[in-house]
A = this chain, B = another copy of it.
Amino acid sequence: MKISKDTNILIVGLGLIGGSYAKGLTKGGYKVNAIDTNKETVEFALQNNIVEKASTEADDEMIRNADVVIFALYPHIFKEWIRDNQSKFSPGTIITDVTGVKGCIVDDIQNTLREDCEFIAAHPMAGCEKLGIQNSNEEIFHQANYIIVPTEKNTQEAIELCRSIGEALKFNRISTLSPYDHDEMIGFVSQLTHCIAMTLMTCNDSDNVEDYTGDSFRDLTRIARIDEVMWSELFLLNKDALLHQMKLFTMEFSRLERMLMEADKAGIKEMMRHSTARRKLFDKEKVVD
């Protein structure tokens, strides 16, 4: 089962990610409706032909007509929204999401949801430091990873459908991880990096540092502009995995500190060689599906 040009897709939440989904799917020729409580957002989406129809309310007909619902809002609203609106779903509706943490959410949603509908979790690993539909851009997905996060409750059909959404949005790579593995990985590559960028930005309040920075500092702190509502929630929802990754980082950082204190040039060089060799694996050019 794949999405087709006849599939009624409903996006709930037209922020940066929801808006970029809407743009990508609409440009791909798919039928997209949307719900967002913000009037300006809805008007913007309609005026710019990002969606066919849009509503500021959880519109009964729009929800009933949806074959696929993509939830693109803050995690804590997700369960609530499902509880309040699931009576409007037609039987067989597939629900997916874009949430950045999974372990604490997927079971909850799957247990809350009506038995004749199915929730399949997904995580588009893309973003931008600027928020809102005004900054949405489907191209942020083209070099990015799309991760499907099924549980044993999911059907093969739903996983395939979810994959077809990733394909329609032209993600560079589509893969599958369990909720646990997903959260460990996200704790490392996404949340730990945000913790580091924030720390670097706040650990030294010297004046005029900005006058002397090179690209290294700018690169390491790009993500230090951070939406505190979203990210404080994501950090706390993934607290254990994130604390584990912070521990690993701190241990290695202390090791480097000790080598410096002891002027252990050979040890520092060895760590640099390890770092250089491992970084080569991450070159974008090499990431092919």
Contacts and interface: CB of A to CB of B under 8 A. Distances in A.
Given A126-B214, A225-B276, A228-B269, 7 more contacts: A196-B220, A198-B271, A203-B248, A203-B251, A204-B248, A232-B272, A236-B268
Interface of A: 125-127, 143-145, 147, 173, 175, 177, 184-185, 188-190, 192-204, 206, 209-229, 231-233, 235-236, 239, 242-243, 245-246, 248-254, 256-257, 260-261, 263, 265, 268-269, 271-276, 278-282, 284, 286-287
B202 A271 contact: yes
* Majority secondary structure of chain A interface residues (helix, strand, loop or mixed): helix
B257 A224 contact: no
A126 B212 CA distance: 11
Given A147-B212, A218-B282, A275 B197 contact: yes
13 contacts: A143-B215, A175-B212, A185-B212, A189-B209, A189-B212, A196-B253, A201-B274, A211-B287, A228-B272, A228-B273, A236-B268, A242-B260, A246-B253
Top 9 A-B pairs, shortest CB-CB distance: A203-B252, A228-B272, A125-B214, A198-B275, A228-B269, A189-B217, A224-B279, A201-B275, A193-B216
